[in-house]
């Protein structure tokens, strides 16, 4: 089952993970406020389904909300979801195959809108 998790780190900052079963597919930066993490989730739910998937390794370009497939220094590929203002909202682990990176983006596009949100910050207070 796909779901979002809102987590809190030892510094009191909040982050978002999109998870399938126990596997973290993508994660956000740390936010000072829980409201920012919640806004990240809502924006992904709303904007991911219609977002383009742009392969930067093929020098494709895009604008607006978009998934970007990019090359890591290791030669593997990863996915990031970028907001219309250019900010990176979430990124994935690196994958040895580009098709796995594309599958990650497709899964977020398809499953994010209906995914439940688990706020785990109360457990780490």
pLDDT tens, 84-98?
Answer: 999 999 999 999 999
Task: Spell out the domain ranges in the chain.
Answer: 2-119
Share of the chain above pLDDT 70, in %: 98
pLDDT tens, 7-47?
Answer: 999 999 999 999 999 899 999 999 999 999 999 999 999 99
Note the pLDDT of residue 41: 98
Cα–Cα dist 18/66, whole Å: 16
Read off the pTM.
0.92
Secondary structure element (H or E) that encloses residue 59, with its range: none
List for the chain the helix, strand, coil content (%; round to 5).
Answer: 25, 35, 35
Report domain 2-119's class: mainly beta
CB 19 within 8 A of CB 25: yes
Q: In the predicted model, is pLDDT for residue 125 greater than 80?
A: no
């Amino acid at each position: 089952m796909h779901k979002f998790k809102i987590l809190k780190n030892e510094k009191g900052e909040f982050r978002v993970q999109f998870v399938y079963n126990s596997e973290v597919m993508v994660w956000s930066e740390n936010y000072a406020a829980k409201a920012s993490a919640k806004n990240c989730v809502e924006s992904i739910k709303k904007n991911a389904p219609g977002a383009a998937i742009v392969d930067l390794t093929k020098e494709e370009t895009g604008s607006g909300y978009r998934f970007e497939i990019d090359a890591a220094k290791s030669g593997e590929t990863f996915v990031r979801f970028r907001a219309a203002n250019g900010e990176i909202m979430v990124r994935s682990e690196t994958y040895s195959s580009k098709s796995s990176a594309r599958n990650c983006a497709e899964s977020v596009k398809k499953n994010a809108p209906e995914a439940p949100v688990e706020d785990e910050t109360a457990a780490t207070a």
